[in-house]
């Protein structure tokens, strides 16, 4: 069976090998005579899946022992209010770097809670076409944390180096680039990510949290499900977790391990993205990238054609040629190719070839 | 392949036919060349799945047009704080009927928020072995709602008729018996249920909400993800939903439709439960049911044997004979058989036979 060239922004492509294993054991997991979906979340069989996923993530990202690894629900969007709720107080400011719609949403939730906030920097003026330089960031000793969005799915920008802040109180929404490259975990107090881009299917959110942060929540009145210490104390089993999503996450982590871990995956990602960036850069302006060169994302490649009409023609012919998910987000328009870990090199090569061919056929119409 | 006799309390048995379909199309959903997990949640293909699940649930439970059907994350446990947060105010009391640990947890979350609460009735004194009579309930005109747990998984009790309260402001956690029988939806302002018992795999929570309740949230400062109106306005697509869980939910709803809907399923459930209750009642006290007869659940059958030692022997031999999930919850002990919609009649018959045989072999040891 031919697999579709899937460039969806998320939920997105999963490794074919992972899907094949999941298919094979869907009715009989580990000789239990049951689907993994039918296992009790308190059974030994499921516990092994859960703990192996934690262990693999810890190993792949070299996460030190003083961090908790949690598997939660609600997506990154539920983390937006949980972060200020758990970690801010009257005299500690939530400081946000705005690099797109998702950073704005994170900030908005802190404001709804009536907690003190600040904006360390913003590139909104130029429609979020770049990541601020580290020197542009306005930080303060009163910051409870500095919050960043490590990769901006909509605009196609990505942080290349991370700010080093006081007490390493850096919090990052890494939903769209976690596990795509090695990370200096020690720089971060917390990293969180919805799984549906690089980690697995939707329905589970990974949180990597430095343990000392849990103290900030101690004397707060917060709903039990919205406290990080609830989930830390209960190994993310306070209530029924999304078991199948965690099972798939575990399979994806195994797959990354077998491909040489994040170092191996990161090289593949560079090669894949450069195929498409080259097609843009060598097109003499036929394709125009949205992100400035030094902020370009290796996960989401955003570009426009000369006119809206031509973009539409491109998207329509690409669709016919079997490419899925190339429509840009409505706030940027044009085209976007998401080249997450599980998108094969061949799919990127095919897209490059399609872009070259389309340019050849349509250059005179400019 | 022989399927295991799965009596798990949740996550629990899924219909074999549903798992087979899911397996067949796991790598190629609806000729897309992609897994359903790889579809964008904003694609036509996924939208169809999502909307069909809503339509089927509406049809199966005869839900009137003035109710929203939402698919959320976080389980019933996240509904516990969301309900008082959205629907209570300084002068409206959250009134709770306590019939077990889950009702207690629901009440606790309202208290954490500092909102006014009351206890309409409680059967804690007798270790939650029964549902209160409707005449025992202390309700008041100040009640913002009356909250009940329709079926108590741990104790094996179930409401047989529902209270009729002012403005039908009745809210029910139906996690463990939704879709097991027809319901007088009009009596309820809201029904919610984690999917992992009768509706599908874990990871999605179904909320059926009367639309006029949304007005109660209008002037409140609540995190966006915790507002019901956010999800109502966005057809549960405010952020990425748990797409695979919703897909499985849809398949389970199709399966129930094909079996004669909730009326058909309800008759099957009565037959299944009576097999096991008969084995208890006709055992001359060898098996002792925990729940009082008029409160007995058709979903979770709880019983003890004469001694802890004998219970252990029963559980150990049952496990060897291929029965899974019969251990009672630690707060009641003994044994529990969960006979949700997807547990086949044959499994219940096999358990009945096993119980009779075990009694025969062990009666003299009493």
A122 found inside a domain: yes
Q: Would the pLDDT of A248 be above 80? A: yes
**B240 and B222, same structural domain?**
yes
At A121, the pLDDT band (50, 70, 90 cuts) reads: very high
Q: Would the pLDDT of B211 be above 80? A: yes
Measured CA to CA in angstroms, residue A344 lies from A14, A135, A337, A347 at distances of 10, 37, 13, 5
**A169 and A20, same structural domain?**
yes
At A4-15, the pLDDT tens digits run: 999 999 999 999
Quick check: A74 and B75 CB within 8 A? no
Q: Can you tell me the distance from the alpha carbon of A103 to that of A80, in angstroms, rounded to the nearest whole number?
A: 9
Q: Can you tell me the distance from the alpha carbon of A245 to that of A264, in angstroms, rounded to the nearest whole number?
A: 24
**B197 and B80, same structural domain?**
yes
Burial class of residue A307 in the structure, from the number of CB atoms within 10 Å of its CB (0-12 exposed, 13-18 middle, 19+ buried): exposed
Catalytic positions of A, written as ranges: 102, 173, 197
Out of A258, A293, A310, pick the residue that ends a domain. Answer: A258
pLDDT of residue B366: 47
Q: In what order do the strands lie in the sheet with B335-338?
A: B287-289, B300-305, B335-338
Of A23, A85, A242, the CB nearest to B242: A242
Out of B226, B258, B290, pick the residue that ends a domain. Answer: B258
| Across B262-272, average pLDDT | 97
| B349 CA to centre of own chain | 23
**B306 and B225, same structural domain?**
no
At B296-318, the pLDDT tens digits run: 999 999 999 999 999 999 999 99
Q: Can you tell me the distance from the alpha carbon of B133 to that of B213, in angstroms, rounded to the nearest whole number?
A: 27
A199 found inside a domain: yes
**B270 and B181, same structural domain?**
no
What does the DSSP 8-state code read for residue B45?
H
| A198 CA to centre of own chain | 6
At B66-109, the pLDDT tens digits run: 999 999 999 999 999 999 999 998 899 999 999 999 999 999 99
Distance from CA of A202 to the nearest CA of B (A): 5
A5 found inside a domain: no
pLDDT of residue B332: 85
Least confident range from A351-365, B141-155, B233-247: namely: A351-365
**B291 and B158, same structural domain?**
no
Q: Can you tell me the distance from the alpha carbon of A132 to that of A135, in angstroms, rounded to the nearest whole number?
A: 8
pLDDT of residue A359: 98
Quick check: A240 and B194 CB within 8 A? yes
At A90, the pLDDT band (50, 70, 90 cuts) reads: confident
Out of A230, A258, A286, pick the residue that ends a domain. Answer: A258
**B118 and B29, same structural domain?**
yes
**B221 and B134, same structural domain?**
yes
At B152-210, the pLDDT tens digits run: 999 999 999 999 999 999 999 999 999 999 999 999 999 999 999 999 999 999 999 99
| Across B39-65, average pLDDT | 98
Q: What pTM does this model have? A: 0.98
Query: Cβ contacts (< 8 Å) between A74 and chain B: which residues?
Result: 73-74, 78, 225
Domain enclosing residue B270, as ranges: 261-365
Token code pair at residue A186:
């020690």
A100 found inside a domain: yes
Of B28, B38, B325, the CB nearest to A40: B325
Quick check: A74 and B78 CB within 8 A? yes
Q: Can you tell me the distance from the alpha carbon of B35 to that of B50, in angstroms, rounded to the nearest whole number?
A: 15
B11 found inside a domain: no
Question: Please, what is the average pLDDT of chain B?
Answer: 97
Quick check: B16 and A6 CB within 8 A? no
At A105-114, the pLDDT tens digits run: 999 999 999 9
Q: Would the pLDDT of B31 be above 90? A: yes
- CATH code of the domain containing A306: 3.90.1150.10
- CATH code of the domain containing B234: 3.40.640.10
**A245 and A99, same structural domain?**
yes
Distance in angstroms between the alpha carbons of the first and the last residue of chain B: 38
pLDDT of residue A1: 61
Is residue B214 within 8 A of residue B190, CB to CB? The reply is no
**B276 and B153, same structural domain?**
no
Q: Can you tell me the distance from the alpha carbon of B207 to that of B76, in angstroms, rounded to the nearest whole number?
A: 9
At A345-364, the pLDDT tens digits run: 999 999 999 999 999 999 86
pLDDT of residue A303: 97
Beta bridge mates, A304? A288
| Across A253-272, average pLDDT | 97
Q: Is ipTM over 0.90?
A: yes
Measured CA to CA in angstroms, residue B108 lies from A227, A296, B77, B174, B217 at distances of 14, 48, 11, 18, 21
pLDDT of residue A366: 47
Question: Please, what is the average pLDDT of chain A?
Answer: 97
pLDDT of residue A193: 98
- Counting the structural domains of chain B, the total is 2
| Across B4-20, average pLDDT | 97
A173 found inside a domain: yes
Report the chain A residue with the minimal C-alpha distance to residue B248.
A37
Q: Can you tell me the distance from the alpha carbon of B111 to that of A152, in angstroms, rounded to the nearest whole number?
A: 39
A1 found inside a domain: no
Q: In what order do the strands lie in the sheet with A143-149?
A: A67-72, A205-210, A188-194, A170-173, A143-149, A93-98, A117-122
Measured CA to CA in angstroms, residue A142 lies from A116, A131, A162 at distances of 10, 23, 20
Of A113, A202, A226, the CB nearest to B241: A202
Catalytic positions of B, written as ranges: 102, 173, 197
**A161 and A235, same structural domain?**
yes
**A129 and A113, same structural domain?**
yes
B8 found inside a domain: no
Token code pair at residue A22:
């999941």
């Amino acid at each position: 069976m031919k697999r579709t060239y899937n460039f969806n922004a998320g939920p997105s492509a999963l490794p074919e090998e992972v899907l094949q294993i999941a298919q094979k054991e869907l009715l009989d997991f580990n000789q239990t005579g049951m689907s993994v979906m039918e296992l009790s979340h308190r059974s030994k069989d499921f516990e092994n899946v859960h703990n192996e996923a934690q262990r693999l993530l810890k190993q792949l990202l070299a996460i030190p022992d003083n961090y908790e690894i949690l598997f939660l629900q609600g997506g990154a969007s539920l983390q937006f209010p949980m972060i200020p709720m758990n970690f801010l107080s009257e005299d500690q400011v939530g400081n946000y770097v705005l690099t797109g719609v998702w950073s704005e949403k994170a900030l908005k939730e802190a404001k709804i809670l009536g907690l003190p906030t600040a904006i360390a920097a913003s590139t909104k003026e130029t429609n979020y076409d770049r990541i601020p330089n580290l020197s542009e960031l306005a930080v303060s000793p009163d910051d409870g944390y500095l919050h960043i969005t490590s990769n901006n799915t909509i605009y196609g920008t990505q942080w290349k180096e991370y700010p080093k802040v006081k007490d390493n109180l850096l919090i990052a929404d890494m939903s769209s680039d976690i596990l795509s490259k090695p990370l200096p975990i020690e720089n971060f107090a917390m990293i969180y990510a919805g799984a549906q881009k690089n980690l697995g299917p939707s329905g589970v959110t990974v949180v990597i949290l430095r343990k000392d942060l849990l103290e900030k929540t101690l004397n707060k009145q917060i709903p039990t499900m919205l406290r990080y210490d609830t989930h830390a104390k209960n190994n993310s089993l306070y209530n029924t977790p999304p078991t199948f999503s965690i099972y798939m996450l575990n399979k994806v982590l195994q797959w990354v391990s077998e491909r040489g871990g994040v170092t191996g995956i990161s090289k593949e990602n560079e090669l894949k993205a450069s195929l498409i960036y080259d097609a843009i850069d060598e097109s003499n302006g036929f394709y125009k990238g949205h992100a400035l060169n030094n902020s370009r994302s290796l996960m989401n490649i955003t570009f426009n054609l000369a006119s809206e009409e031509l973009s539409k023609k491109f998207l329509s012919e690409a669709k016919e040629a079997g490419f899925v998910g190339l429509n840009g987000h409505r706030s940027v328009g044009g085209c976007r190719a998401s080249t997450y870990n599980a998108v094969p090199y061949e799919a990127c090569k095919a897209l490059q070839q399609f872009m070259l061919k389309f340019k050849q056929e349509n250059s005179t119409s400019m």
